[in-house]
Amino acid sequence: MFIFGLAVLFKLVSLQFFQGDKYRALAGERVIKNVVIPANRGNVYSLKGNLLATSIPKYDIRFDALTPTAKTFEKYVKPLSDSLSKYYGKPSGYYQNELRKARVNKNRYHLIARNVGYFDYIRLRNFPLLELGAYKGGLIVEQTTKREHPMGGIAQRSIGYERFDEKGNVTRAGIDGAFGVKYLRGTDGQRKKQQIGKGQWKPLNDANEIDPKNGYDVYTTIDVNIQDIAHHALLEQLEKYKADHGCVVVMETKTGEVRAISNLGRNSDGYYYERLNYAVGESHEPGSTFKLMALTAGIEDKVIDTSDVVDTEKGIIKFYGESVEDSHRGGYGKITVSKAFEVSSNTGIVKAIDKAYGKSPSKFVDRLYAMNLNNDLDLPIIGEPKPVIPDPRVKNGRWSGIALQWMAYGYGVSLTPLQTLTFYNAIANDGEMVKPQFLREVKEFDDVVVPFKKEVLNEQICSKETILKVKQLLKNVVEKKHGTGHRLYSENFSMAGKTGTSQKDYANKDKLSYISSFAGYFPAENPKYSCIVVIHEPDKSVGYYGADVSGPVFKRIAQKIFTDTPIIDEVKSLDVRVASVETEYESFYKTAQTYKTIMPNVVGLPAMDALALLENMQVKVKVKLEGNGIVKKQSVEQNIKLKNNQVVVLKAS
């Protein structure tokens, strides 16, 4: 017993004098802890300021039933219950019973409301008793944020996301993922919380220890009108040909700014949605669109001229026992290289390349390298694969006896749609190859933090003389009656480009399918935009040639951009107009509280209601009033970000 007593005494002394600090700190950690307050992620905007992605705050409202004194609780329990009754619709007695039960059960974490928006949060925290705050009224507020895409499914994959799982692993996609860490994420804050029960914590103070710093806003190069045109043109064609998936990219020629990027894949129910970013991340054999690269190389090296004559024979030629065939049965006979390109003769182009480079294939590969075709684009968006260009000098370089001939018409090589488009854009841009751009600038409120400028990948991919020759080839594809793209020709609008139809899974005839594509630019004489359309696995019974499947999408986009571009309802989820003016005003007010700096659509509202709504948003308003006072026009369009001290003029009649 004496020895046991000594042991207990020793342990007590050890805990008190040697390990006391450790256990006191541990006890403190279990009672009080610093909780991270996530910063609001910055918004993503279109070129013209339309909202593409935003973080919406959501709130849980809870009640610590032991915090109010007995006198305070009894004074406010009925008024609080009356307010909750009006809010939820149940009798006041129901809420009195729930609140009293919470106090009897010593519930320090009683749920009042879950996942409410900012407007409801402000309303609830001003209810009787809760308005007294955390120390007197027992109010507990927990805030989270939810990422929303006001444009819905349009360009959602390209706008992207940054997601964390329960283990902290992150998955990133698109613009949101690419620029999240550097610009959008912001800096988290801290708040002390006290443990009030098993797994239950309440804020120790009304204020944060460290306030979160919200992320910057990024302004993309996306034009929502062009994006809408591209999306629906692609969707219509995918549905018509029952294709597996497809993509469209529209790029401004001089700057490389991407005005639209749409990626649609089919689900098991047959509906199309933004499944993957095919334009950036899916590499494939381009087929006949690569004939432009092959001929540009030959013309630049002065070993091929467009006037050279090639014999397509009977539409079939063989190299090392492997056949190269034309889609046109019987071939084209003896034709110029120019016509071979225009009719997309595989045998004609292969004959020209084989004659020029058959004894020196490395020279052909070197020219492709000189035109940047072996380099990726170094995009900030994750997932871009490196191009595949076979090289006879590289071990395991995918070279074979027929590699040169296959490369001539787009087989054995592999490029993404955006890599292919970048080359076509360089031709349209008189030889200057520019990097595709997705961001215009980064802002903090109205101040530009980071501007993005044009990046040149290659100042001159080939001579001006070569550029003029291949530009004429691309123009002839559309304008000449024998050209594979002639069905796209319009007397009123000029286009230039190249069709492409490549086989997919050609080693297995049972699974043989096709990739249909069209790449080019418009207008042909003074290119403003370049564009590529790639559609995978169209229904062979309906059609699969690039001119039939992808070409019409290209034409529809080009014509709509320059002739009848619609003014679309860019962010349909923000258009909250309904029949009842009272409901309408309430909905608009919620929108204003949620999006704060985004201009709502007030057309159709009574002028006084519109005035009240906008003034609640701290906007200066001028009303030009005539007649009965219904707003007919607003000076700032719906969904445009409002500037500090901006004046909005409303015309009402």
CA distance 605 to 623: 13
Sign for the CA dihedral angle at 284, 285, 291, 295 comes to positive
Angle between helices 417-428 and 291-300 (to 10 degrees): 40
Mean pLDDT is lowest, of 150-159, 238-247, 473-482, 622-631, for 622-631
Categorize the per-residue pLDDT at 7 as very low, low, confident or very high, splitting at 50, 70 and 90. low
| Range 575-652 classified under CATH 3.30.10.20 | yes
Q: Which residues of 41-58 are buried (b: 16+ CB within 10 A; e: fewer)?
A: bbbbbbbebbbbbbbeeb
Contact 143, 37 (CB under 8 A): yes
What is the mean pLDDT of the segment spanning 4-15?
65
Percent of the chain surpassing pLDDT 70: 82
Q: What is the pLDDT of residue 468?
A: 97
Please state, rounded to an integer, the average pLDDT across all residues of the chain: 85
Name the E strands within 239-315.
Answer: 245-252, 258-266, 272-273, 309-311
* pLDDT over 80 (residue 200): no
Partners of 274 in the β-ladder: none
Residue bearing the bigger pLDDT, 398 or 340: 340
Is the confidence at residue 132, as pLDDT, over 90? yes
* DSSP notation for 20-85: HHHHHHHHHHHHEEEEEEPPPPPPEE-TTSBEEEEEEEEEEEEE-TTSS-HHHHHHHHHHHHHHHH
Residue of higher predicted confidence among 284 and 649: 284
Q: What is the DSSP string of 159-225?
A: H-EEEE-TT--EEEEHHHHHSIIIIIS-B-EEEEEEEEETTEEEESSSS-SB--BPPPEEEES--HH
Which range is least confidently modeled, 178-182, 534-538, 555-559? 178-182
Residues 6+ apart with CB under 8 A from 599: 634, 636, 637, 638, 639, 640, 641, 642, 648
3.90.1010.10, 2.60.40.10, 3.90.1310.10, 3.40.50.2020: CATH of 38-219: 3.90.1310.10
Q: How far apart are CA 473 and CA 482, in angstroms?
A: 12
The more confident residue out of 528 and 506 is 528
Q: What is the pLDDT of residue 260?
A: 95
> What is the reported pLDDT for 569?
38
Burial class of residue 166 in the structure, from the number of CB atoms within 10 Å of its CB (0-12 exposed, 13-18 middle, 19+ buried): exposed
pLDDT tier at 644 (50, 70, 90 boundaries)? confident
- Residue 285: is its pLDDT beyond 90? yes
The confidence score (pLDDT) of residue 523 equals 95
CATH 3.40.50.300 is held by the domain 224-562:
no
Rounded to whole angstroms, how far apart are CA atoms 618 and 623? Answer: 15
The burial of 305, by beta-carbon neighbours within 10 Å (0-12 exposed, 13-18 middle, 19 or more buried), is given as: middle
The pLDDT, as a whole number, for residue 582 is 36
Nearest to 337 by CA among 535, 470, 167: 470
- Work out the average pLDDT over 192-218: 68
Least confident window among 94-103, 456-465, 593-602 = 593-602
3-state secondary structure string across 296-314:
HHHHHCCCCCCCCEEECCC
> Matching CATH topology for 224-562 and 575-652?
no
> How high is the pLDDT of residue 589?
47
Residue 621: strand pairing partners: 648
Q: What pLDDT does 333 receive?
A: 93
Indicate the range of 28-32, 308-312, 589-593 predicted with least confidence.
Answer: 589-593
Amino acid occupying residue 247: C
User: pLDDT digits over 425-449, tens only?
Assistant: 999 999 999 999 999 999 988 899 9
Q: List all residues 6 or more positions away from 25 whose beta carbon is below 8 Å from its beta carbon.
A: none
Among 90-104, 209-223, 339-353, 514-528, the least confident range: 209-223
Q: Give the pLDDT confidence score for residue 17 in this predicted structure.
A: 57
- Strand pairing class (322-325; 334-336): unpaired
Q: How far apart are the first and last CA of the chain?
A: 99
Q: What is the pLDDT of residue 73?
A: 95
Give me the pLDDT at residue 372, please: 97
**Count of all residues that appear for the chain in the document:** 653
pLDDT of residue 282: 96
More reliable by pLDDT, 469 or 33: 469
pLDDT tens for 401-425 read 899 999 999 999 999 999 999 999 9
Rounded Cα distance between 68 and 266, Å, is 57
Q: What percentage of the chain reaches a pLDDT higher than 90? A: 54
Residue 431 is predicted with a pLDDT of 98
**Residue 646 predicted with pLDDT over 70:** yes
Confidence of residue 385 (pLDDT cuts 50, 70, 90): very high
Would you kindly state where each structural domain of the chain is located, as residue ranges? Answer: 1-33, 38-219, 224-562, 575-652
CA atoms within 13 A on the CB side of 211: 4
Strand partners of residue 631:
652
The residue ranking higher by pLDDT, 649 or 534, is 534
Q: Hey, CA dihedral for 201, 205, 206, 207, is it positive or negative?
A: negative
DSSP state of 511: G
Which candidate, 484, 480, 490, places its Cα nearest to that of 549? 484
| Residue scoring higher pLDDT (156 or 299) | 299
Task: Using the predicted structure, report yes or no on whether residue 362 has a pLDDT greater than 80.
Answer: yes
pLDDT at 240: 95
Compute the distance between CA of residue 63 and CA of residue 406 in angstroms, rounded to an integer.
Answer: 72
Average pLDDT over residues 320-343: 92
| Residues in Cβ contact with 341 at an 8 Å cutoff, skipping those fewer than 6 apart | 291, 292, 295, 306, 348, 349, 473, 476, 477, 498
Helix (H, G, I), strand (E, B) or coil at 409: coil
